[in-house]
Amino acid sequence: MSDATYLTLEKLTLAYGKTAAVENLDLSIHRGELLALLGPSGCGKTTTMRSIAGLMPVRSGKIVLDGRDITRVSANKREIGLVFQSYALFPHLTVFENVAFGLRLQGMSGAALTEKVEAGLKTVGLSDFAARKTPDLSGGQQQRVALARSLVMQPKVLMLDEPLSNLDARLRLEMRTELQRVQKESGVTMIFVTHDQVEALALADRIVVMRNGAIEQIGTPEEIYNQPASSFVADFVGFENITAVKDGMLVGPAGEVKASGPLPQAAGLAWRPRSIPLGSGPYKGTVRGVSYAGSSREYVLETPLGPVKAEVDAALPAYALGTELAFDLPPEAAAPLQKMD
């Protein structure tokens, strides 16, 4: 991956009729990068991806790819590949012919075609399946065909819409690794859309968290996971305890308490359940929920701030429902948030 900007979205506004789905979006993507567009349903991920592919008109703003303004260039002239959630394979054609399809449309044939298709199938690990019809493949294999079919066209950018959502849990893990490998080996710039934070964290070089048609935060998986900028991102990546901060107080949905230590410059603080010490600390809460998760137990405490979630090692003695427990919300163990809802 190089640092040079390869694909740029400048003040991009996209709308359906009078309703803006994406507004004033600025984003720079590097060559060879694997970028995730992450966000809840309706935040504008698909709309953004469709506009890059040329399938959604741009209301205002600009899309520049490899130094060329492609804002008004038609989809088939953009050199951008798209792998849909449904794969959209031709069921009556073999794997080989599915992968060859776009190349044939370009007029390629004979040995050159065979060589390209075989290389594509090899990249995705499907060399032995060239003669099969696509309905006789597993979901993961069908996805590999869709991937090979796009890769052989040597797109400048390959976009994938929820690439793993149709696969079962085991295949999803396998395809995650596979996608990463193919991307690193082919060096193709990839953008994938997902609403699954685990998938985005596992796969992407950088994550763009979207919300209501705008970017909430951009960062590496580590930055998004450990240093969420806002309560929205914190909540999205599993910080289940979030308080606002005001005049030395922690402010929760039900009330406020004095902070147990010096507070950083921040609008709020966020803790994952495993950062909450149980059994000691200046605050008191009552156990209202316990759930066992193999190696740990998660407790929901009723507290003056509102519900607090804490996760402790399952090897420790369990607390019964109704037990009153001391706990802490140590500011030094929290992620400081710059923006609160």
Residues binding ligand ATP (CB under 6 A): 16, 21, 39, 41-47, 195
Amino acid at the residue 6 = Y
**Residue with Cβ nearer ligand ATP (51 or 123):** 51
Residues with Cβ within 8 Å of residue 127, at least 6 apart in sequence: 118, 121
Of 176, 60, 58, 188, nearest in space to 120 by CA: 188
**Residue with Cβ nearer ligand ATP (43 or 334):** 43
Report, in Å, the least distance between residue 48 CB and ligand ATP. 7
What the block records as the tokens of 34 is 């694997």
Report, in Å, the least distance between residue 208 CB and ligand ATP. 12
**Residue with Cβ nearer ligand ATP (41 or 295):** 41
Report, in Å, the least distance between residue 41 CB and ligand ATP. 3
Report, in Å, the least distance between residue 160 CB and ligand ATP. 13
Report, in Å, the least distance between residue 46 CB and ligand ATP. 3
CA distance 69 to 8: 9
Amino acid at the residue 149 = R
**Residue with Cβ nearer ligand ATP (45 or 149):** 45
Report, in Å, the least distance between residue 195 CB and ligand ATP. 5
CB burial class (10 A; 0-12, 13-18, 19+) of residue 145? Answer: buried
**Residue with Cβ nearer ligand ATP (218 or 267):** 218
State residue 2 phi and psi, 5-degree precision.
Answer: -100, 165
**Residue with Cβ nearer ligand ATP (38 or 137):** 38
**Residue with Cβ nearer ligand ATP (44 or 163):** 44
**Residue with Cβ nearer ligand ATP (163 or 252):** 163
Report, in Å, the least distance between residue 25 CB and ligand ATP. 11
CB burial class (10 A; 0-12, 13-18, 19+) of residue 82? Answer: buried
Report, in Å, the least distance between residue 163 CB and ligand ATP. 13
CA angle 274, 278, 282 (to 5 degrees): 120
